[in-house]
Amino acid sequence: MRFPVKTMTLTALFAVLTAVGAFIRIPFPLVPITLQTFFVFLSGTLLGSRTGALAQLLYVGMGLIGLPVFTGGGGPQYVLHPTFGYLLGFIAGAWTIGFISERFEKPSFKVYLAACLAGTVVIYAVGVSVLYLNLNYVAGKVTSLRQVFEFGVIPFVLGDIIKMSGTAALASRVGPRLRQIQRGAGVARGR
């Protein structure tokens, strides 16, 4: 597995972007929106499956080695945090989004939107199952899947729809250009 240096730097910066996104909070009905998942969607759509997942893996890794980049801080003890599953979901979600958008030569807005939707489903599938396992087996509180669903998914749906459409709009414009650049077709860089 060899990495072009450009891919390495871009992946690292997307991991940092996700960390920055965790701190940008926008007050919203029910729960405040953070831009975290927005950058998860973007790493999937813009970087592709392997690199996008790697960027998210880096983000989770950064938090686990003690940087306060998660919404609730950081450190290896975060593995026990009930919401740790969502962070694992980011890795799988970014991969899914990348995988779907890579199937298309020129992905349109709709393709990106569908990819983000699939990625979101993956994030919640992983997140909710870990939340469920954590509550039932680590915390020892018997909680039904339905209850977990009610506070683990429903409050975020509206925000996610907005973030998904935002990502699709951005990616459908930037994505094709970026692929051109990565293929080596030189594009003049304005400074």
DSSP state of 155: G
Report how far residue 40's alpha carbon sits from residue 93's, in angstroms, rounded to the nearest whole number.
Answer: 8
Ranges assigned E (strand) in the chain: 25-26, 33-34
Report how far residue 152's alpha carbon sits from residue 142's, in angstroms, rounded to the nearest whole number.
Answer: 15
- Work out which of 15, 60, 91, 130 binds other proteins, going by CB under 8 A: 15
Q: Which two tokens stand for residue 51?
A: 């690199």
Nearer to other proteins, 29 or 105 (CB): 29
- Work out which of 103, 104, 110, 138 binds other proteins, going by CB under 8 A: 138
SS3 state at 73: strand
Stretch that binds other proteins, among 24-32, 89-97, 119-127, 148-156 (CB under 8 A): 24-32
Helices and strands, number each (H, E), in the chain:
7, 2
Report how far residue 61's alpha carbon sits from residue 87's, in angstroms, rounded to the nearest whole number.
Answer: 10
CB of 56 to other proteins, least distance (A): 12
Stretch that binds other proteins, among 99-107, 122-130, 136-144, 147-155 (CB under 8 A): 136-144
- The footprint of other proteins on residues 88-127 (CB under 8 A) is none
- Work out which of 37, 45, 48, 78 binds other proteins, going by CB under 8 A: 78
The answer to whether 75 touches 66, Cβ cutoff 8 Å, is yes
Q: Binding of other proteins at residue 176 (CB under 8 A)?
A: no
Binding mask 37-56 for other proteins (x = CB under 8 A): -----------------x--
Cα dihedral 16, 73, 132, 121 in deg (nearest 10)? -20
Report how far residue 145's alpha carbon sits from residue 102's, in angstroms, rounded to the nearest whole number.
Answer: 33
Q: Binding of other proteins at residue 132 (CB under 8 A)?
A: no
Q: Binding of other proteins at residue 179 (CB under 8 A)?
A: no
Q: Binding of other proteins at residue 184 (CB under 8 A)?
A: no
Which residues make up the interface to other proteins (CB under 8 A)? 1-6, 8-17, 19-20, 23-24, 26-29, 33, 35, 54, 57-58, 61-62, 65-69, 72-82, 134, 138-141, 162, 166, 174, 189, 191
